[in-house]
Chains A and B, each alone.
Chain A
Amino acid sequence: MSAIPSVAVTPLRPPAPLARHLPLVALLVGAAAFLLPLWVMLAGSLKSMEEIRQSSILLPPLNPTLAAWRQAVAALSPGLVNSLLITVPSVLLSALLGAVTGYAMTFGRFRWWNTQLFNVLMLAAFIPIQLFLYPAVLGLAWLGLFGSLAGVVLAHVVFGLPLTTILMKSHFEQLPIELIRAAQIDGAGFARTFLSVVLPVSTPMCAVVMLLQFTGIWNDFILGLVFAGPESRPMTVQLNNIVGTTFGERAYNLEMASALFTAALPLAVYFYSGKLFVRGVLSGAVKG
């Protein structure tokens, strides 16, 4: 037997302090880079115009004032109400309809039709919304809903359906077929199976879909601009009016306060539901 060639063994040494902390440092630098704009906005919204003109944008406010915030809240409040009136029903309806459609497409009987319908949905989900604006305006006008809250909600639901349906359908496809069959054996019909079994076991996915829809619809500008009349403009459109209007000097503090105010709700929702979101995204990937 030949001799085993000797191999130089490197003794295990703890890594150098820099190497050990490098990931942490990188994370901190990254976080700072992403947080900097938020800090500029927050600091700016609490400064007076005089202070903005004189100090650096990075410095904290020396004499914090809520004047800009009061102005922003007063100007945007009708928009906030409109945004809520648009977003809440749009999110609920598009998620629910997406779930129903996805369920019917996954477990319904018309396989061939469903395949064709799915292809159309995939196409629809990725065509820019702008292409549909003109026919949608005509359609809503014909329904007598143009320029109303209901019209905007309808537009959001319709344009949101392809995405919510695709997401819910791909989730339902991963449900064990035996679960559905067990419900059938237990005497549950198509609707009862959906309500009593499929929907309850799909809450994480529903949360994901609703969260996506919430951010999308809350941040929407173009549908609100086109379809909402002057009375029912959402917050984003009003924000644009504030930021876009230029009489004399630009009121940076007001603009920053308005922008933060508009973004406050989605931010809060994300902070609150972050864990839920991660769980929902992973729940399909990892078998429980």
Chain B
Amino acid sequence: MSHHITEAQDLCYSYPDGHQALRGVSFRIHHGESVGVIGGNGAGKSTLLMLLTGLLEPLRGQVAIGEIRLNSRTAKLVRQKLGMVFQNPDDQLFMARVEEDVAFGPRNMKLDEAQVGERVALALEKVGIVHLGDRAPYRLSAGEKRAAAIASVLAMGPDILIMDEPTSALDPSSRRRLINLLKGFEHTKIITSHDLDMVLELCQRVLVLKDGILLCDGPTHQVLSDGNMMIEAGLEVPQSLRGCPSCGWKG
């Protein structure tokens, strides 16, 4: 496995209706780093992930994964290393059975049927939904759908895992299972979330976006406890980092 550096240089993006979603975002993520992307609604998080995966092309600036500069010609190559879990799992599950859906990626990689079967079984087990293999994705609950979507990405064995709000719609125990699962994933992770406690637990580093601008980039603990900056970004310091008024504990 090579050591991929994910690099964004001065990324700008406007939607066709003229709305400027990103205005010059730059960062560098090293291999094995786990980075949270936070910010209020409409800050541009999902847009950033779309640019990183090459689903959108930046208006200005560029993305590079390892030595490869991302463009329409290299997108196919880059996507073999990336796995992305969408914000809405309904967009991601399109086959009639969960198993088939998880097998979709490995089959596209031209693996033989035995290997495909192995990968599917492993991915389902990792996410803890072996019992859902034969069910129809559209009949699952929101959390189960999310788990299936994650399995479908893990089955491809990505080097860089990108997730858009993975813990939304999960019950506490599924959320816990997901966090533990992600902790065990040793490759690069880029996760957007409003679940700051999860970010605190999983990511060493966070990027804070506001109105398409990178407001802050630094170690999670330090950034999340910066009250003024958090409020400016439309967020708030998570409960676990606030001091306790009665015992005088400083977080």
Q: Do A and B bind each other?
A: no
